[in-house]
Amino acid sequence: MRALTVAFVLVTTMLIAPRALAQDGGAERDSTSKQATEDPAEERAAQFVGVRGPDAEQVPGGALLLAAYAVVWALLFVFLLRMRGLQRQTADELQRLSAEIRASGGR
């Protein structure tokens, strides 16, 4: 079934593509004759015209860079404090379990 679908798409493409290309060729000839009759205002409207933005930035890049570094350092500091707390809890739990094992006689 898949092969039949692929064959159908291929045949359809082969039949439609030459007709579409033939129609595009006629459109190119029509567009060249239109270009000769366009006035300069219409020609400018169809071209790219660059827009000038503000000469100065609203927010300087240096301040943004420093703010980004400050955020990263703050997040790193919070992460390290959290890891220290978790490590301390784990060490306390380990000591408690070791004391329980010694108290039970190592059974």
93 in any annotated domain: yes
List phi, psi (to 5°) of 46.
-90, -5
80 in any annotated domain: yes
97 in any annotated domain: yes
Tally of domains within the chain: 1
Label residue 106 left, alpha or beta by phi (over 0 means left) and psi (-120 to 50 means alpha).
left
Residue indicated by tokens 């692929």: 6
50 in any annotated domain: no
Domain range holding 74? 62-107
Neighbours of 34 (CB within 10 A): 10
87 in any annotated domain: yes
- Taking only the tens place, the pLDDT of each residue in 24-79 is 555 555 555 555 566 777 776 777 777 787 777 677 788 899 999 999 999 999 99
The one-character DSSP state at 4 is: H
83 in any annotated domain: yes
25 in any annotated domain: no
Residue indicated by tokens 């890891």: 83
- Taking only the tens place, the pLDDT of each residue in 3-20 is 878 777 777 777 776 666
Confidence of residue 96 (pLDDT cuts 50, 70, 90): very high
